[in-house]
Structure 1
Amino acid sequence: GATPAGAALSVVERFDPAAHAWQEVEPMRSPRYLAVAGELRGRLYVVGGHSTSRPHLGGSRRLVASPAWHDTGLPMLNSVEAFKACSNCWCHVQPMQHDRVLACAVVVGARLYVLGGLSRAFGVLQSAECLDVDSGQWQMLPPMVHKRCAAVAAASPDGRVYICGGNGSARYTGECRAVERFDPGASAWESLRPCCILRNFASAAVAGGHLYVWGGKRGSEPLQHVERLDLEEGCWEVLPPMRCARNGSCGIALSG
């Protein structure tokens, strides 16, 4: 994350549900914000993001869409770190092939999928790649149907990956309702029925045969809206709104 002044943080905290308490653990080696993360085989992987470790906090942070892409001076990272809880330490692993900010991350089996985002060289990305933890190597996937950043993604129990909403413009003026599904067995993307609500910076989780999507924002307006996709029927249903509007939140499905 980042401080209110915009400085990237390396601080990491862990929550123990049994003790209902937070604990600070070893900080990351590289401060970063707008990164993505996923847990694989007892390790927490943190991928990409912005770093303000070199001084450029006085400049503009506005991200401008490609092809009129302007270098803000803020480093965009392709680096990856992994945290071992048993030893309370971080280590660097193989970097991604592209630097990415505002991407999505999903874990399926022994693979960490990283989808879309923003790149200094290419602007809003249509590309996706995955890390195979057995080989330690990144592999490029077929490009998505739509380029997007600030989208949301989740994986179903059968291993398919869903990505929803987001923005096709680095100016954050191109919110979309497009939904896609990646089948690792076929190594192919397919378009699904669009979601009901335009949004980016939302949250998502899969539970009970449904993909739930909530919050986010449209323009500058944070949203209370909640909807879910029936993974078998392929149709969307709007649910009662949350009590509080929120964007950029985190969500996870817990059994029980």
Structure 2
Amino acid sequence: MASGGMMEKISDDPEFIYMTDNTLKYINKNHKKVMAKMYDYKCDIKLKVGDAKFKAHKDVLSEASDYFGAMFSVDMREREQKEIEIFEISPHGFSALLDYFYHGRVSISPDNIEDVIEAARFLHVEWILEVSCDFLVRHLSLENYDTVLHLADFYSLGDLRWDISRFLGENLTTLIEEPRFYQNLSFELLLNFLKENIYVEMSEGYILKIVLDWVHENYDARQKYLPRLLEHVRMGMLELEELDRLPDEVLDIPEVSKEVDEARRYICSMTTQSLYTSKKYLPRGSRKVLTIMAASEEANGTIVLYRDAKTPGICQEELSPRGLDTEVEFTSQATIGNFLYIAGGYDHQYCSSNRLFRFDPRYRDWVELTPLLQKRVSFAMCSSDTALFAIGGIHHMIHGEDDEEIILSSVEMYEPEENCWKPLSPLPHGSYDQAAAFVSGSLYVSGGISSDPVDPVPLNYFYRLKVDGGTWQPLPSMLHNRQGHSMTPVNGKLIVIGGRTAHDVATISDCLANEMYDLATHQWTEITPTPPDIGHIFRYVDILDGKIAFLASHDGHQYIYFYDTEKGKIEPGDYCGREYTRVTTLQVSYPSAQI
């Protein structure tokens, strides 16, 4: 019976060279060079394994294997023996490991793979187990999927199904060209691949073609599997033309036909797509990441960084500006579902704008939607699951050589279902540069700068509006006056971070104090302050992996930070660059390697 615990997942792709089509030589770059020579006159131990005998050096065996390290320790009787016998493994497996002990390499083929795994597990050589898993995934999984899963289970290698599906996805465009690919591909592997959320460099339409081609490779035997396979094809990611060309064998399956009809509605109703949240409408490999956008005049939304919660480092992607015809830098933003909306800002004449654009992370493009009722800039914007809200701001106009600014109190709501804006109850007074959040049917607005000449500095005002009716109601004021801050709902609390504060118009500075409002007790509480060396915090934040992510600028350089609300701790993240001011969380599909 195999021994040992579950093996950890392979961290990096191992280095190997092909000896033949089916034999790989794996090389451990970190293997400590051994000065002793195999079978030289200094060998001080003989080993009998099955019918074979080997000679080796105790110190080499002890260095390479925890098993031998324990055997030749001070308290073990084998320490003084000149010959030992090992019954639990085969000579072929031990021979392969002995070569690795001395040279840092091992050759693996379908003929010796189980012997190598058996010996590595028994002798506690983790690196050999890792490369054995790699070999199983690369060279045996497509033709012998069940056998690979059996070996992984028997020798406690862990669940390799995800690794096998990932390998299939990463190499699918090459593998489908092999003559026996469809013949050798098992139903279990194909089904598991479709179930997993694996990044693939091909469209969902091509994935569907692969499913149909696999069935037609042996139609009489495989036709019965078609409904179960199609259940995991993402019909919402097909083009409308592809849906129109679906064969009868697909449409004759009632459950699939229903999904196709829903996919048609999804595609044809562009404005409501943000209301669909199933993974069926996401590309394969989509994962929740911080999407950090450069909003300078030069970049204007075309350079984006992605930051995965589970993978250190940042990926950068340069996008086409297609569909985006506004200055991103001065717009306000919010998300519904997996779509980013930006609105307002300035037009090309530096007058306030009422334009609304939506970013689709699936295709990395923008589309313009119904404009705001009121042109506005420097306004608060937030969202519910089904609507956008625009609150206050400034209407900036130019009349010849004269500028005019009107501080707004108007509030409006956009519903994708109707693709239109409608007015809500206005604020008690005009204000701009506020923060807003939506929680449980109510809008909350805090801070900003008022149109009231008595209050020309940042406010600590705090109001609530029930969206389904009524007027704005005052709530306990914030502990600190501030503008340009963020306000984030987290577990029944509103977390307020950053912004600027002042006691008079001449002393505006970064607000280092942060605070939290309890929606149940209606009380404000001081929370962890911002360290001064972080610099200015930008107003757009979002939540990733339970932590509030925000951007801060120090000496013109932008960095990501995370506020852990449970621990009350601000954690440093990564360096971004000089032009990044906006962050949001979206489900994005991109390769594991940096773009």
Scaled to the shorter chain, the TM-score interval is 0.7 to 0.9
Distance 2:392 2:401 in 1: 19
Q: Which residue of 2 aligns with 1:116?
A: 447
Q: Using the TM superposition, name which of 101-110 and 162-171 deviates more.
A: 162-171
Report the Cα offset of residue 145 of structure 1.
0.4
Report the Cα offset of residue 90 of structure 1.
1.4
Superposed counterparts of 1:138-149, under 5 Å: 138-149=472-483
The alignment's C-alpha RMSD in Å is 2.3
Deviations 1:190-227 (A, max 9, x none): 00110222314343112222122213x56xx5441222
The one of 524, 536, 559 aligned to 1:199: 536
Report the Cα offset of residue 53 of structure 1.
4.8
Report the Cα offset of residue 9 of structure 1.
0.3
Are the counterparts in 1 of residues 538 and 550 from structure 2 also a CA contact under 8 Å?
no
Q: Is 1:210 paired with 2:554?
A: no
Are the counterparts in 1 of residues 465 and 471 from structure 2 also a CA contact under 8 Å?
yes
Report the Cα offset of residue 19 of structure 1.
4.2
Report the Cα offset of residue 147 of structure 1.
0.1
Are the counterparts in 2 of residues 6 and 57 from structure 1 also a CA contact under 8 Å?
no
Distance 1:57 1:162 in 2: 42
Superposed counterparts of 1:21-100, under 5 Å: 21-53=365-397, 55=399, 58-59=402-403, 73-100=404-431
Q: Which residue of 2 aligns with 1:132?
A: 466
Are the counterparts in 1 of residues 485 and 539 from structure 2 also a CA contact under 8 Å?
yes
Aligned letter for 1:164? I
Distance 1:7 1:17 in 2: 29
Distance 1:228 1:115 in 2: 22
Report the Cα offset of residue 239 of structure 1.
1.9
Distance 1:229 1:167 in 2: 18
Q: Which residue of 1 aligns with 2:515?
A: 180
Report the Cα offset of residue 18 of structure 1.
3.6
Aligned letter for 1:137? T
Larger Rg: 2
Are the counterparts in 2 of residues 152 and 164 from structure 1 also a CA contact under 8 Å?
yes
Are the counterparts in 2 of residues 93 and 136 from structure 1 also a CA contact under 8 Å?
no
Q: CA separation of 1:244/1:198 partners in 2, compared to 1, >3 Å: closer, same or farther?
A: closer
TM-score (norm 1): 0.83
Distance 2:371 2:556 in 1: 30
Q: Which residue of 2 aligns with 1:70?
A: none
Q: Which residue of 1 aligns with 2:432?
A: 101
Q: Using the TM superposition, name which of 236-245 and 20-29 deviates more.
A: 236-245
Q: Using the TM superposition, name which of 40-49 and 168-177 deviates more.
A: 168-177
Count of aligned pairs: 237
Q: CA separation of 1:229/1:41 partners in 2, compared to 1, >3 Å: closer, same or farther?
A: closer
Q: CA separation of 1:80/1:57 partners in 2, compared to 1, >3 Å: closer, same or farther?
A: farther
Distance 2:463 2:386 in 1: 21
Aligned letter for 1:214? L
The one of 168, 187, 190 aligned to 2:501: 168
Aligned letter for 2:353? L
SS of the aligned residue for 1:75 comes to strand
Aligned identity (percent) is 25
Distance 1:171 1:114 in 2: 25
Are the counterparts in 2 of residues 109 and 159 from structure 1 also a CA contact under 8 Å?
no
SS of the aligned residue for 2:509 comes to coil
Distance 1:191 1:183 in 2: 11
Aligned letter for 1:37? M
Distance 1:56 1:141 in 2: 42
TM-score (norm 2): 0.37
Q: Which has the higher contact order (CA 8 A, sep 6+)?
A: 1
Where structure 2 has 5 or more consecutive residues not aligned to the other structure, the ranges are 1-344, 589-595
Distance 1:143 1:23 in 2: 39
Are the counterparts in 2 of residues 177 and 198 from structure 1 also a CA contact under 8 Å?
no
Aligned letter for 2:584? I
The one of 333, 347, 350 aligned to 1:3: 347
Aligned letter for 1:198? G
SS of the aligned residue for 1:146 comes to coil
Aligned letter for 1:27? P
Q: CA separation of 1:93/1:212 partners in 2, compared to 1, >3 Å: closer, same or farther?
A: same
The one of 563, 577, 590 aligned to 1:229: 563
Q: CA separation of 1:200/1:55 partners in 2, compared to 1, >3 Å: closer, same or farther?
A: farther
Aligned letter for 2:543? V
Distance 1:232 1:187 in 2: 19
Q: Which residue of 2 aligns with 1:252?
A: 584
Deviations 1:153-195 (A, max 9, x none): 2121x12111111111356731121110010101111001102
Q: CA separation of 1:98/1:130 partners in 2, compared to 1, >3 Å: closer, same or farther?
A: same
Q: CA separation of 1:57/1:136 partners in 2, compared to 1, >3 Å: closer, same or farther?
A: farther
Which one has a larger percent strand, Structure 1 or Structure 2?
1
SS of the aligned residue for 1:51 comes to strand
Are the counterparts in 1 of residues 556 and 578 from structure 2 also a CA contact under 8 Å?
no
